[in-house]
Structure 1
């Protein structure tokens, strides 16, 4: 049975449902990951949980050591990664509280350590990134959502900005012209690094606010927190169900 990683984003810094067997502090040649690795069982699956922004949610998106995070999961024997991302909704049907399983990415980040192929001791690798999310893993998330009776949007273009500030209305207009449906700050270089390491990777995105200019109201951190509190229990249920399905499928995933 494959070992599964869950990367928790904003609002998901812990998984109470995970039966933790070991809390491991690890290092990699790229430095330390954002948090210790919580290793245990979730719905019968071997799961490793990593808090992307640290256990106290103190690491901003542009300062996350994405290379260390993904390398640590690879070292731990993980083969599939489910990432949870809090995002803004650009498309009109992606209102606050909507769950999305995106299928494409546009990267607007800069200055981040975005590849493992940048050292004299590492062979240059041009990985195919046509489909940035692993389709069988995406389908497992969609099946888990259906099994839980939770509505979600299948597909969407995930625009990834630098942060930590939110975008201007004009920037969101630009993203929309580019074809983006939702906007976040942490999917890249995470997804690309997973591809370089040959890890399956899929995203469960939670829309926590309408993107800038898509609402007459000012974006409020209090409103975002309310959406998170209401939605995170559903996300944890979906993750548990997805792990259950992956146990049933075994190595066929």
Structure 2
């Protein structure tokens, strides 16, 4: 069973009904068993789908087995990954319901594994991540959104926090003052591992709420779920219309990420 393009679904996106001739599989990885992966077709492209948090959001962000997830997709032959994330806004001008096409992240996580290369047999790798999101995929998503008349903010910096708690008012104020745009708990980790696997990776963030202190209301996951439900059809349309438009051949730097990155003994 093989695939060339994958979708990683974030909060609110746990299954995909637009993949045809679908089958399910699991992959054994050095980091444990992958969750159930749906593999099938979108037009003439072979596509895999994996729910980041598992079925029914059963795994919190700080305990997701990111390495098994990305490794399993790579094992299936996936070279491109389109992901979704639910995010809080750090900017009053970026409102709930808007989509943001990320171009940068800042990582404030503390305890999760962030590399596939921890010395020993795997060696040590210092991968370049100056531009963490694939420019080719970003261009495809931006052009597709324009064609579909979906209002997609073309750039945004994502702050990745550990979770599963929401952020304090002081943390949100700090992130806002530093000029960041949205906050979430998952995306930086995936982007790093995808780059180490030389996979193209891009993300559409769906703004579900304002961050603490910007919002005057108590932050709840119910609020996130309700807004995702309202926007799920739009984000699916964007992703699945983008898939056939992804170039057959990769002409981006992602495929050569490990060149010169490995420490030679």
Scaled to the shorter chain, the TM-score interval is: over 0.9
Unaligned 5+ residue runs, structure 1?
A: none
Q: Give a deviation string over 1:100-148, Cα, whole Å, max 9, x none.
A: 0010000000110110110411021111010111111111111121121
Alignment match, 1:184: 184
The correspondence of residues 166-181 of structure 1 with structure 2, limited to 5 A, is: 166-181=166-181
Question: Counterparts of 1:10 and 1:220 in 2: how far apart (Å)?
Answer: 13
Secondary structure of the structure 2 residue equivalent to 1:96: coil
Deviation at 1:222, TM superposition (A): 3.0
Alignment match, 1:218: 218
Alignment match, 1:134: 134
The 1:109/1:20 distance shift into structure 2, 3 A limit, reads farther
TM-score (norm: length of structure 2): 0.90
Secondary structure of the structure 2 residue equivalent to 1:163: coil
Work out whether residues 100 and 153 of structure 1, in 8 Å CA contact, stay in contact via their aligned partners in 2: yes
Question: Counterparts of 1:43 and 1:206 in 2: how far apart (Å)?
Answer: 25
Alignment match, 1:23: 24
Alignment match, 1:32: 33
Question: Counterparts of 1:223 and 1:57 in 2: how far apart (Å)?
Answer: 15
TM-score (norm: length of structure 1): 0.95
Work out whether residues 20 and 38 of structure 1, in 8 Å CA contact, stay in contact via their aligned partners in 2: no
Calculate the aligned-residue CA RMSD, in Å. Answer: 1.3
Deviates more, 1:58-67 or 1:2-11: 2-11
Question: Counterparts of 1:102 and 1:215 in 2: how far apart (Å)?
Answer: 22
Moved over 3 A (4+): none
Deviates more, 1:199-208 or 1:90-99: 90-99
Q: Give a deviation string over 1:44-100, Cα, whole Å, max 9, x none.
A: 321110011002210000000001111001100000001110000111221111100
Deviation at 1:218, TM superposition (A): 2.2
The correspondence of residues 1-253 of structure 1 with structure 2, limited to 5 A, is: 3-33=4-34, 35-246=35-246, 249-252=247-250
Q: How many residues align?
A: 249
Deviates more, 1:176-185 or 1:232-241: 176-185
Work out whether residues 209 and 215 of structure 2, in 8 Å CA contact, stay in contact via their aligned partners in 1: no
Work out whether residues 43 and 241 of structure 1, in 8 Å CA contact, stay in contact via their aligned partners in 2: no
Deviation at 1:170, TM superposition (A): 0.6
Deviation at 1:252, TM superposition (A): 4.8
